[in-house]
Amino acid sequence: MEARIPRNAPPAAADPPPKPPTPDVVPPALPTVSETTEPTDPHGDEDPVELLVQLRDRVAALGGRIPNHTCVETIQRDVFARPAGPALKSCGALLDAARQRPAGASLKRQSTDWLRLDVAYSHAGREIYSWAGAGKFEESEIDELVPEGAMGTGPFTTMLLSAFQNPSTKYVFDGETTLDGRRLFKYSFAVSREKSGYKVKAGNGWVITGYSGSLLLDPKAAELVQLTVRTEELPAETGTCETTTTLDYGMVELRGNGYMLPKLARQRFIGREGGEAENTMTFSACRDFQADSKVKFDNPAQSSQLQSASRAATDLPGGLPVSIELLTAVHFGGAAAGDPIEGRLTTPILDEHGQTLFPKGTLLRGRLMRVETRYGPDASRTVVLRWETINGIPISLLPKRLRREPNSALRRRGAGFELPRPSESRYGIFNLPAGSSTLEAGAHSEWLTAKP
């Protein structure tokens, strides 16, 4: 499991996988089920132990098939600030208060942003990510792809596998309960820090935390309905008191095989200063990996033109002005970081001798990097983007943030401005009024060519 502590927000969540066994490894020992001191007796004749064994076996079989498919994960991230007033001074007090209310209740919503990623489970036993549609998964940590804000991995697959593939885990049957009028069996479990693989980012390092959780099973259908995983109280250096993940499960059919995937997942981060963050995740467009690939052979003339264009883009001298018109409208509430965008040159790119390298109208493609709404006195909406290719060829551009012409809005002194985030220094930033619903197609931005 891994958790990232965000900067300027409640700390990041964790991605819990004690590394599960590969498919050819014998499944872990049967879970141990015992009753609580005051159990609620089941009304039917279902065997709580046998139901859990059946679920464990299904999860073990699932673990062998998961690396063969991927899904699109859409994340809404809400950040809540502590209201004015005396602060609670301990994690114990903060957690007691937080458990009495839903995430964010009685707090002030500070911001909301949206992400869209492709997620898969690797043969190495961890979740891997890329921007949606990028076609290549990154083996690095999630905070290299999404460096800002609360972010955690695990809901796609690893939390489910971890709940059943740690042989030291013991389960407690807590009796019957109901959820939305549905009769369910409830089980609880706990994993000590010594047996845990749940990692949380603390500064530049990682710390291991123990965790506990609960399962809700439908005894009639023998189906998993909900899984909850909660960390122990986290060390002070993480900046976080606790992270809780709740996953509501359903079945997805792919080529005749059923997969248990969360219909909805929520991760709640409770910060040590009283702020909170909640990430709401949904999964869609699940598909099998396709191993086959197609190679297209161009004729010699086309190949020569492509090589010339490639050299023109990658060998561009730095500092050439580039003016771009956005062709893709960005709608708040629908768009997310990771979505592809298109633009076109409004003027040609000329070399230092005035020769045209790319004519006016040449198509560029790029990606949204942040789509965010901020609330309160400084309410605003922000779209951050980058350009990645021109005419299908990789290109590196830097935003031209300040105009130096005499009539520029930013003259010599006195005009206020906001620095970009450290991770966004190479991206274009559009700040819109709070009431705006869309960054319209046609928005212009000025750039300079740069070396990658």
Answer yes or no: is 271 within a domain.
Answer: yes
E strand intervals along 375-450: 380-390, 393-394, 397-399, 428-433, 438-439, 444-449
**Cβ pair 282, 264 in contact under 8 A:** yes
Regarding whether 348 and 236 lie in a shared domain, the answer is no
Alpha-helical (H) ranges within 31-107 are 48-65, 91-98
> Residue 379: which pLDDT band, with cuts at 50, 70 and 90?
very high
Domain total of the chain = 2
Regarding whether 280 and 315 lie in a shared domain, the answer is no
Residue 4 has pLDDT above 80, yes or no: no
Answer yes or no: is 295 within a domain.
Answer: no
Q: Helix (H, G, I), strand (E, B), or coil: what is residue 143?
A: helix
Cβ neighbour number for residue 406 with a 10 Å cutoff: 6
211-218 and 223-231 beta bridge pairing: antiparallel
d(CA 2, CA 14): 4
In this prediction, residues 361-387 reach a mean pLDDT of 96
Among the listed residues 126, 145, 120, the one whose alpha carbon sits nearest the alpha carbon of residue 17: 126
Regarding whether 309 and 251 lie in a shared domain, the answer is no
Among the listed residues 241, 244, 249, the one whose alpha carbon sits nearest the alpha carbon of residue 224: 249
Is 53 exposed, middle or buried (CB count within 10 Å of its CB: 0-12, 13-18, 19+)?
middle
> Which amino acid makes up residue 432?
L
Which residue range is the domain that position 42 belongs to? Answer: 3-288
d(CA 372, CA 113): 4
Residue 449 has pLDDT above 70, yes or no: yes
Regarding whether 360 and 236 lie in a shared domain, the answer is no
pLDDT value of residue 204: 76
Residue 17 has pLDDT above 60, yes or no: no
The residue with greater pLDDT, 226 or 168, is 226
Regarding whether 70 and 43 lie in a shared domain, the answer is yes
pTM score above 0.75: yes
> Residue 293: which pLDDT band, with cuts at 50, 70 and 90?
very low
Per DSSP, what are the bridge partners of residue 278? 78, 268
Among the three residues 288, 308, 329, which one is the final residue of a domain in this structure?
288
Among the three residues 288, 323, 350, which one is the final residue of a domain in this structure?
288
Q: What angle do the packed helices 158-165 and 48-65 form, to 10 degrees?
A: 130
Residue 348 has pLDDT above 50, yes or no: yes
Regarding whether 396 and 254 lie in a shared domain, the answer is no
**In the block, which residue shows the tokens 């809780």?**
244
pLDDT value of residue 7: 39
User: Which range among 34-43, 61-70, 154-163, 313-322 has the greatest average pLDDT?
Assistant: 154-163
Answer yes or no: is 102 within a domain.
Answer: yes
Regarding whether 397 and 259 lie in a shared domain, the answer is no
Answer yes or no: is 155 within a domain.
Answer: yes
Answer yes or no: is 423 within a domain.
Answer: yes
Regarding whether 307 and 256 lie in a shared domain, the answer is no
Regarding whether 444 and 407 lie in a shared domain, the answer is yes
- pLDDT digit string, tens, across residues 191-238: 999 999 888 888 778 899 999 999 999 999 889 999 999 999 999 988
Q: What is the DSSP letter of 107?
A: S
Cβ neighbour number for residue 325 with a 10 Å cutoff: 17
Answer yes or no: is 17 within a domain.
Answer: yes
pLDDT value of residue 377: 87
CA angle centred on 310, ends 315 and 383, rounded to 5°: 85
Answer yes or no: is 293 within a domain.
Answer: no
pLDDT value of residue 16: 41
